[in-house]
Structure 1
Amino acid sequence: MRKLLLIIVLFFSVLGHSQKKVLQTKSISENITIDGKIEEAAWKSAPVASDFIMFEPDNGKVIPENKKTEVKVLYDNDAIYVAALMYDNEPKKIMKEISQRDNFGASDLFGVFVNGYNDGQQDFQFYVSASDGQADCITTDTNGEDYSWDAVWKSKAVITDFGWIVEMRIPYAALRFSGENKQTWGLNFFREIKRDRHKYSWNFIDSKLGTFTQQTGILEGIENIKPPTRLFLLPYSSFYVNAGKGQKTYGTIKGGLDIKYGINDAFTLDMILIPDFGQTKYDDQILNLGPFEQQFNENRPFFTEGTDLFSKGNLLYSRRIGGRPSSSPTISSNEEIIENPSSVNLINALKVSGRTKHGLGIGILNAVTEKTYASIQNNDTQEIRKEVVEPLANYNVLVLDQRFRKNSSVSFINTNVTRNGSFRDGNVSALVWDLNTKKNTYNLSGNFKYSYINDIEDKKGTATSLNFGETSGKYRYSVGTEILSKDFDNNDLGINFETNYYAIYGNANYRILNPTKHFNSFRVNLNMYTQFQKETGKIQGNNINININSNNKKNHFFGLGINANPIESYDYYESRTENRYLIFPKRLGGWFMFSSNYNNKFAIDINPSVAVLSEPGRNSFGFDIGPRYRFNDKFSLNYLFHFFRQNNNKGYIDSVNDDLNSATPNAIIFANRNVITYSNSLSGKYSINSKMTFNLSLRHYWSYAENKNFLSLQQNGRLTDYNNYTQNKNSNFFSWNGDISYSWWFAPGSEISVLYRNNAANFQREIDKDFGKKVTTLLTNDQLKHVFSISVRYFIDYNEVKNKF
């Protein structure tokens, strides 16, 4: 009888978890003051959402009574209001590190997830920390969390003798929903108890399923509201002082305006007039010895915020907009380039994005860059002429994304770059699909892409991929294939390194869904990948790896992996010459990772790695070590040291002509070299409160490649000694970046930012291995540049202005 009762209890518990919870809200007319006190009469009669269930680590476990959580929701004509009581039997242990917006730090969290269309596709998530900080993001199952999206809303968190309280006001202008009189929204609440690393949700989120956004509860009761006029103006003014040794100190003043306008209940226009990216984070440059360009992160807010639609098909690399000129100046033997811009100025940019109630997402991005010249001097006459290296150019992206059955989509994407005059134009189109079974247990995804380049010689190319996998349960797997033609080229507005190949790949993995005696989480992955040169069928890439990632009961993270290239491969890229290849040797490597619990004041990350290749003396090894210390809830410092060494690395350095009767190079020269890299990074923050923070960021980087002897690439892909080369082709690159900043969010959506930065970089052929000298040289030489800037941005909401008048 006792067993029967237990089975009945478990059955109804599982049944309760699988059903969507429903919360009723009520309309109010009185004012709600966002002060964390919850004293207004309307709160007392509002329905309560409770009975939270653990998401991680023990998925499905009911929250204990001494940590119970109660949430209420109210609404009026302008916003929804949320009040949350988080009980804690040890309130003095509540973690509350103060951090910048969108950075949680070591702090307890409360979150509200809203889907105004209740279509299981996209959540607007709003978080408040126990230190009264804010974070917000847009979340989709396909792209995860996008914290570059920022909304303007109000919140207040207060620590009490029974736990802590959060009160929130989320205006309708920060959400998306239909114009129907009776609203039904997807809704979930989230709580994280940081000291335990326990995460709870109001509506149960089953970790066995490969979806997050489709497991929300329901909010009912909102009626007869109208989507507001979503018109936001963000005027700004910036002042810069630039200085450097040997150069004139000068100041500049800039001003401009960003506009956000809700075209209707679903679509938003973002426009940037007179762009100012002067306070954007510097790129972390490296010594790049490979055949491909270095890919940089996008740090400009306009191109990072709300771009989930534009990431479809992986066709957009927004750093192309305002990046390097598309051509290089041509010079004669008696001329030299005295000025060649490294970037192109952006004139303006806009984007329109949104989704209809029937699930059709539309995204349009357009940007215009200015005509750019290089300066060339005639050494005989000293005359200077200008040559266009980038004409007036238009960049355009169109995305149509149809969602259906709440968990699947089919998308069409087109990217187009049109340059004025006879310069190269590029156009790429793609059809992308992401199909899931009704229960989210299996996935079929893929794409077909077509590129057309209008240049001196027109090129057309295609790329396609197809993937199938099981996406639920403890055991999961996936298999796939991809094919790229030789002339596929999306590099005018995207980035792609390798073409002319076909590949097959697979993955199998196992994970625990609930904690065991020793682990909170544990996952094993087996991955295999093989790439074939499309025309010859030669293997030009192969890898098999197995890795383990785990989190123990003390919330320390461990990982380790073994990776191998078990057979030789044919590298068609390193030679920098068409139809020539280098035979890459077999390789066996491994790595280990340890990351201690960040809840502790002192924590450390350690990550050593090693690899051995099937050539005598050729190997690599390195490590990262990153201690961090939190002095108190306001002040913390993080340090990272990186070291990596490659012994007897073989790499391209030049092409020369050994045949006096030939006008083209016929010898491809490689170097046998040792490549050594060091980098030191220090970051820190001091938060006066959740709206006012000082930040520090320092990075010193040094990498050099020292050639030992020279080799010639043979027709069979092997290397032989080459003794006729005498040039110094060593590479020695070092750089320094330093930022000290102050940020104050003095009003909702409005910020004052003060920044001092200096930076320098140098490339040499001579190698001096004095590490200390490399640092002092960068900090004292003529290339060190200083910039001091102040930027003020003020957020204006049309609705707030209208209500005041």
Structure 2
Amino acid sequence: MRNPTHFLTALLFSSICFSQEGNSTEVQQDTTEIVPKKIYVTKAIENEEPPSVDGLLNDEAWGLVEWTGDYIENQPDENTPPSYQTKFKIVYDSKNLYIGVRCYDAEPDKIIRRMSRRDGFEGDWVEFNIDSYHDKRTAFSFTVTAAGVKGDEFVSNNGNNWDGSWNPIWYTKTNIDDEGWTAELKIPLSQLKFSGAENQVWGLQSTRRFFRAEERSLWQRKPIDQPGWVSEFGELHGLRNMEPQKQLEIQPYTVASGETYEAEEGNPFRDGSDTDIAVGLDAKIGITNDLTLDLTVNPDFGQVEADPSAIALDGFQIFFREQRPFFVENKNIFDFNVSQSEAGNTFGFDNVFYSRRIGRSPQGFPDTNDGDFVDIPDNTQILGAAKFSGKTKNGWAIGVLESVTAKKYATIANDGDRRREVVEPLTNYFVGRAQKDFNERNSFIGGIFTATNRADLTQNLNFLHESAYTGGLDFKHQWNNRDWYLGGNIILSHVQGSEEAITHTQNSITRLFQRIDADHVEVDEGRTSLTGTGGNLQIGKVGNGHWRFESGGTWRSPELELNDIGFQRQADDIRHYTWVGYQTLKPDSTFRRVGINYNHWSAWDFAGNHNELRFNTNTWQNWANNWFSNIGFNYAPVQFSNFALRGGPRLRRTPEVSFWNSIGTDGRKKLRFNFFHNGRRALDNSIRRYSVEFGFRYQPIDALRISVFPEYSINNDKLQYIDNIDTDLGIRYLNGEIEQRTLSMSVRFNFNINPNLTVQYWGQPFISRGRYSNFKHVDNATARNFEDRFLQYEANQVTFSDDNYAIDENLDGVTDFSFGDPDFSFVQFRSNLVLRWEYIPGSEVFLVWSQDVSQSGNPSEGLFTSLGDNILGQTPQNIFLLKATYRFVL
């Protein structure tokens, strides 16, 4: 199956035939309920004073309009009266939109006022979603809790994406009285996007969370089985002569930092402490009311929480989520997932744009000699970045990102002499993204283009691409009231560089062209470019009834390369997937909601080798007492890996079974427990893995929350890759039996003095230890029986001395090859303590203390012993930051 076209054409044909048959049935049995749209008519404030935002609802301006209410329950029992009603009013003037809301409650002393940071959504709250373009796909969400904590999110893709990094400037206050609680919201029009039409209609929705019953009620009813969110909003009328506001905000910052660590004798770069002071600037400029230009100069992300510790033995890169505010905001516009699906198991993290490539750790390492001390920067400095993004009233979603990262040097010192070598070149990153809605917002078509260009690559950096370009097209079409959809994308990548760079790309674990039994690919050491394709095609049903499904196919050609500015785990893959799900729509005496799913996946490479077949069934439950649980099972009768031997032959993996299961107690309780475990076992016992995580969250008072989650995992694999070694007897694909144990614990502490002054702590001790034995080399990689796939070395063939193993394979008294002791013990402790004070809306002070201890432990010791020896009593790396920002709104 060298060409995926025939496979995907057949898949699409069968899927369309299935959808047409299913759609015919749906038309004949269509029970889609038409829910009338509610309309609220607002008025402008002309002669009255605007409401003062104090939460009391006693201003004369509120008398201009009528109350609206009649909320209807959405969860857990859709289309029934809620426990208590809610009502609101909306007025506006030339600069602001004002919302006053009353949440009735017969027992006001029981209203839950849990504190949190912004976007915490704890306790009782009420939310307003405003589709000010009335495009039925995007909205601005404003939430206020009974404790007065603000939450705000940008909603896109008709409710499938909620971006909590959007932090507009707005104002709110709450109050509790004998009838329940009230809130007032003041939203500057500069924070919204809308057209310049004389008379406007906006989409409007409001949600109330009644905490004691874990109940959601809506102003505009939305049936559970109705797909979409923004498209189902009610309408806000009465908006006249409103002038779109151009946003202009400038936010300079200053950060002072100090670092302490254990001094290293003789090392001029590790004298025990460093200090620094830096300044930078962020700006948000409204080019039009639709489109915003975000700028950052010398950005600082020191207050961002560190990544959790992780070790991967399969050789593939680990995906970490983006946490830096500049890149997170409006991230949804730039997303271009290669093959995300409801079924999963399709490398769903793969994305044409992965912002963590910008500002990454330097990729090079200098040439050194004995006695050299080296200082390499932890990250590549972002000199500046600009992001132009937004959604127009005509249905265009536009995103353009341009960033330049600095040339970075390593400094090498030896006996007073110093020299510098480049470890990261000056690099320019560009991303352009556009989507256009049409067909009454039921369809869209879009595209993306990315470019990475590196300047003046030195000899030690010639493994990097000089340039990398990616282009892609995507589309989605929905019909039958958005119950059905057909979507997909196609991607083209092209990288250029030296012969060394392209050879390195061909040999990388993402593609492994040097595989000895792969006759459809080969390494060409004379190439200076590589061009590949990828894509995804899927069809599904998500609404109108209990049943849902999705089926599709995805491919990545052997030459596809996205990792200069994207994220891609592997190439040379063609994959089919199908998901079918059933969900309940009404609660009963046992469950609030239940879902049951079936999935299967099948994968081939471009030579037509069938590499995987996997079946899954799983179910999730929301119990009547508001506990949550799920359980799932996998069976994989066919498993081969092109990557396990890192360029060696395709390796058969034994059929296996696996499971996962989790249980969570009622999230409303002050003390909540969660338990999760999963396991995997080969039918011949060649692989045994098990992981368990158990922890609690405790909130003794509204202002304080503590959580502790320890995790322990076991990995026993009788065929764990070690190395490929070229010997006089031929290449030995060296493997061993590993016994790996990993122990970690995530601890969080959140203290909220008030909604704008918070203290947060996160800490994680981590240890992973691996011990190897029973060394062997693979000589019959696709043999059906596990023991026939390799030759295991006997005790008289193996000698261990000075941390090295020597192998005398033919027992002639001469060492045939040797290798270093692969046993490992990695110990790490990371923590962040952050005090955040938003002293005026949009302006903040951060005080940060970060710690890091990273050590190599003794693999022969126990986990707790090694953890204690390498963390307790060690001198940690301490980083102290004081960062202050001021947000000018012009």
TM-score tier (shorter): over 0.9
Residues of 2 paired with 1:384 and 1:696: CA distance? 40
Counterpart residue identity of residue 820, structure 2? Q
Q: Which AA in structure 1 matches 2:449?
A: N
CA contact (8 A) 1:571 1:581 kept: yes
Give 1:638's aligned residue.
707
Report deviation, 1:61: 1.6
Task: Measure how far apart 1:580 and its partner are.
Answer: 2.3
Counterpart for residue 327 of structure 2: 303
TM-superposition CA deviations, 1:198-248 (whole Å, max 9, x none): 101111112212211101011111111211231011111111121112233
Map 1:107-126 to 2 at 5 A.
107-126=123-142
The answer to whether structure 1 residue 41 and structure 2 residue 60 are counterparts is yes
CA apart distance, 1:332: 8.0
Larger mean Cα displacement after TM superposition, 788-797 or 131-140: 788-797
1:695 and 2:760 equivalent? yes
- Which of residues 632, 656, 675 is equivalent to 2:725? 656
The whole-number CA distance in structure 2 between the counterparts of 1:618 and 1:229 is 60
The percent of aligned pairs where both chains have the same amino acid is 27
The alpha carbon displacement at 1:127 in A equals 0.2
Give me the whole-angstrom Cα distance separating, in 1, the residues matched to 2:306 and 2:563: 23
Cα deviation for residue 506 of structure 1 reads: 0.2
Correspondence for 2:381 among 345, 348, 355? 345
Q: Is the 8 A contact 2:37 2:234 kept in 1?
A: yes
* Aligned-residue offset at 1:671: 1.7
Structure 2: distance between partners of 1:689 and 1:366: 38
Which residue pairs with 1:801 in the alignment? none
Confirm whether residue 763 of structure 1 aligns to residue 779 of structure 2: no
Change (3 A) 1:243 1:224: same
Q: Is the 8 A contact 1:700 1:775 kept in 2?
A: no
CA distance in 2, matches of 1:115, 1:576: 51
| Equivalent residues of 1:51, 1:63 under 8 A apart | no
SS at 1:276 equivalent: coil
Q: Are residue 130 (structure 1) and residue 130 (structure 2) matched?
A: no
- Residues 407 and 336 (structure 1 numbering): CA distance in 2 closer, same or farther, change over 3 Å? farther
Residue number among 520, 529, 535 corresponding to 2:592 in the alignment: 520
Residue aligning to 2:427: 393
Is residue 123 of structure 2 the alignment partner of residue 58 of structure 1? no
**Contact 1:651–1:671, Cα closer than 8 Å, also in 2:** yes
The partner residue of 2:878 within 756, 761, 786 is: 786
- TM-score, normalisation: structure 1: 0.92
1:317 equivalent in structure 2: 354
Please list, as runs of the form range in 1=range in 2, the aligned pairs for 1:529-678 lying within 5 A after superposition. Answer: 529-535=601-607, 537-567=608-638, 569-577=639-647, 580-616=649-685, 618-659=687-728, 666-678=731-743
How many Å apart are 1:373 and its aligned residue?
Answer: 2.3
Give 1:775's aligned residue. 868
For 1:194 and 1:17, the matched residues in 2 are separated by: 30
Give the C-alpha shift of residue 334 in structure 1. Answer: 7.1
Q: What is the Cα deviation at residue 377 of structure 1?
A: 6.9
Residue matched to 1:407: 442
Q: Verify the 8 A CA contact 1:503 1:531 in the aligned structure 2.
A: yes
2:456 corresponding residue in structure 1: 421
Which string of whole-angstrom CA distances, capped at 9 and with x for unpartnered residues, describes residues 240-276 of structure 1? 1211122333332222110000000100000001211
Counterpart mapping for 1:150-299 below 5 A:
150-246=167-263, 247-299=271-323
> Could you tell me how far apart the structure 1 residues matched to 2:768 and 2:240 are?
63
SS of the equivalent of 1:214 reads helix
Aligned to 1:803: none
| Counterpart contact for 1:242–1:786, Cα < 8 Å | yes
Alpha carbons 2:858, 2:866 under 8 Å: kept = no
Superposed, which structure 2 residues align to 1:363-512 within 5 Å?
363-375=399-411, 384-404=418-438, 405-422=440-457, 424=465, 425-456=467-498, 457-472=528-543, 473-512=545-584
Q: Deviations over 1:746-778 (max 9, x none)?
A: 111111111112111123574421514423522
Distance 1:172 1:394 in 2: 35
Tell me the amino acid that sits aligned with residue 321 of structure 1: I
Give the AA of the match of 1:413: I
3-state SS of the aligned residue for 1:312?
coil
Deviation at 1:340, TM superposition (A): 4.0
Match of 1:357 in 2: 393
The amino acid that maps onto 2:355 is S
**Residues 382, 716 of structure 1: CA spacing in aligned structure 2 closer, same or farther, 3 A cutoff?**
farther
Decide whether the 8 Å contact of 1:312 with 1:411 is kept in 2: no
State the aligned residue count: 771
What is the DSSP-based 3-state SS (H/G/I as helix, E as strand, rest coil) of the residue aligned with 2:677?
strand
Residue 740 of structure 1, aligned match among 814, 821, 833: 833
Shift of the 559–534 alpha-carbon distance from structure 1 to 2, 3 Å rule, reads: same
Contact 2:686 2:718 in 1 (8 A): no
| 1:587 Cα deviation from its structure 2 partner | 0.9
Query: Could you tell me how far apart the structure 2 residues matched to 1:677 and 1:670 are?
Result: 21
1:94 aligns with 2:111: yes
Q: Tell me, yes or no, if the aligned pair for 1:133 and 1:690 is still in contact at 8 Å.
A: yes
Q: Which residue of structure 1 aligns with residue 341 of structure 2? A: none
Counterpart contact for 2:743–2:863, Cα < 8 Å: no
Q: Find the partner of 2:744 among 658, 676, 679.
A: 679
TM-score, length basis structure 2:
0.84
Structure 2 unaligned blocks of 5 or more: 1-30, 264-270, 338-350, 458-463, 499-527, 783-788, 799-806, 808-817
Report the AA paired with residue 56 of structure 1.
Q
Q: Measure the CA separation in 1 of the matches of 2:598 and 2:412.
A: 55
Tell me if the contact between 1:17 and 1:203 (Cα under 8 Å) persists in the aligned partners. no
Measure the CA separation in 2 of the matches of 1:756 and 1:333.
36
Q: Equivalents in 2 of 1:25, 1:659: separation in Å?
A: 85
Instruction: Give the unaligned 5+ runs of structure 1.
Output: 1-13, 799-805
> What CA distance in whole angstroms lies between the structure 2 residues aligned with 1:648 and 1:571?
15
1: CA distance, partners of 2:171 / 2:102: 17
Deviation at 1:80, TM superposition (A): 0.5
1:46 Cα deviation from its structure 2 partner: 1.1
- Code of the residue aligned with 1:439 in structure 2: it is N
**Separation in 1, partners of 2:849, 2:819:** 44
Letter in 2 for 1:416: A
Cα separation, partners in 2 of 1:571 and 1:376, compared to 1, 3 Å:
farther
Q: What is the Cα deviation at residue 542 of structure 1?
A: 2.9
Q: Flag the 1:240–1:39 CA change in 2: closer, same or farther, 3 A.
A: same
User: In 2, Cα distance between the equivalents of 1:342 and 1:791?
Assistant: 20
Contact 2:771–2:859 (CA under 8 A) maintained in structure 1: no
Instruction: Please state how far the C-alpha of 1:16 moved relative to its aligned partner.
Output: 10
How big is the shift at 1:417? 0.3
Residues 331-351 of structure 1: CA distance to partner in whole angstroms, max 9, x if unpaired?
488796834444311111110
Question: Residues 69 and 684 from structure 1, CA distance in 2 versus in 1: closer, same or farther, beyond 3 angstroms?
Answer: same
SS of residue matched to 1:609: strand
Deviation at 1:394, TM superposition (A): 0.3
Give the direction of change, closer, same or farther, for the CA distance of 1:377–1:670 in structure 2 (3 Å limit).
Answer: farther
**2-side partners of 1:716 and 1:703: how far apart?**
29
Over 3 Å counting, the alpha-carbon distance change for 1:18 and 1:739 in structure 2 is same
| 3-state secondary structure, aligned to 1:278 | coil
**Aligned residues of 1:337 and 1:374 also touching (Cα < 8 A):** no
